[in-house]
Copies of this chain bind each other. A is one copy, B any other.
């Protein structure tokens, strides 16, 4: 059994108006040390799979088919075995 954490963010070349808005809000609250901010999606899932390779390839497919828009988004996966 595995636990996967998937972070989906906009590619660097894609504008992120939501992130800009949050950044401005932080600045107006006085947090001037933050100089860049991007917002993305976070998925946490558990998989009933016994094999790491299989879990990894399944996650890749799920990302490509549903969770991520590969035209404008990129993603990172963190996979941890649960015992």
The answer to whether A26 has its CB under 8 Å from any CB of chain B is yes
Which A residues, 21 to 77, have Cβ-Cβ distances below 8 Å to chain B? 22-23, 25-26, 29, 31, 33-49, 55, 58, 61-62, 65-67
Query: A interface, how many residues as a size bin?
Result: 35 or more
CA distance A37 to B4 in the complex (A): 9
CA distance A35 to B72 in the complex (A): 28
CA distance A42 to B6 in the complex (A): 10
CA distance A35 to B44 in the complex (A): 11
Offer 9 A-B interface pairs, CB within 8 angstroms, sorted by A. Answer: A25-B66, A26-B66, A34-B47, A37-B44, A37-B45, A38-B44, A38-B45, A40-B42, A42-B42
